[in-house]
Structure 1
């Protein structure tokens, strides 16, 4: 959410893995074009990215108990995993993979234009908006992975009207490097982080393991951020 950073702030937790860093088993160009399709073993960002690093043996943060108590020690996670609907809106955040030949289109920027990447961007006219088929007034993310150039395009509060895309915020990520937003900049999420890399996807579950950090939201958080977040 962009409107109130004290609530529903994106946080990440790392799934425990058996190695120090996750190695690639696929290539960006090998991803399957389509909606909600397989990455075929490709891992966004480098193996030593904080998103892909095993922290199962790392020391616990000295403030861990304080963070948990502030959030609420009895608060539990409620994973939806993109299954089912709520108020006729599909749960989870969808994504699409496109080829480098996908036409790039302008995106009209709104509330966070000064902290957005202007594009143009390869957003298909039929791109799934978070909450599809009736996105409603939620975060309305649009996530597009371009497999040939290996770019990740993310929109917040996206709308398609009369064939033209608009969004309150956009961020473009080079998936071949460990990239961060400028300090204090937002992104398509309130923390200045990429959205896609923290999602649990069917293809990796089917392969037997989720070997990267997962994103989740909490009802209460401090008005502050910790790197790699930038906002």
Structure 2
């Protein structure tokens, strides 16, 4: 364990302020004074006993510190996790259960060990620095649930709007139909004129056939031999 380092910067100032002990251990930027030795012992146990030397995060118990090291800093556990093995240890010391995911471990803690649903289950990842309790406040849960409900309402409103727009007839495409019909009407006379011109040309070609040439029985044109 880390040895206790007590900083006594100024005995006169400490006596005037009533401090009997000071702590200057990291991560404190400035030394913290304590009026009673028991307060210092509690502070040291909570903030300096179970602190990770890799990321400097603090944990409430030695067991949770070991679980944190296994999950976040152990390369062998990382390789085993990539292979699909169960690497997430139980929070309860003495329980040998290991789960595949943090979500399954959460269910295990709630079902088997009766953990409350609002427990701070990310403690092995984030630590307890700056936290007063391992329980998540109910007000935050209500705000998050209210936010999710408002998002669901907004999605339903957008879906209804899209359905209404899809069900309405497309009026913009209707005015173009008469012009299409007119184009078709114009196309038919043009085709008829072309056919008539071809027929007129064919009749004109027949006028150059001599009358002595007969086609078949008693008709002008080529006769069969």
User: Fold-level match, TM-score > 0.5?
Assistant: no
Which has the larger share of strand?
1
Greater fraction helix: 2
Q: Which has the higher relative contact order, 1 or 2, with Cα contacts under 8 A spaced 6 or more apart?
A: 1
- The normalised TM-score by structure 1 is 0.23
TM-score, length-scaled by structure 2: 0.23
Q: Which has more radius of gyration?
A: 2
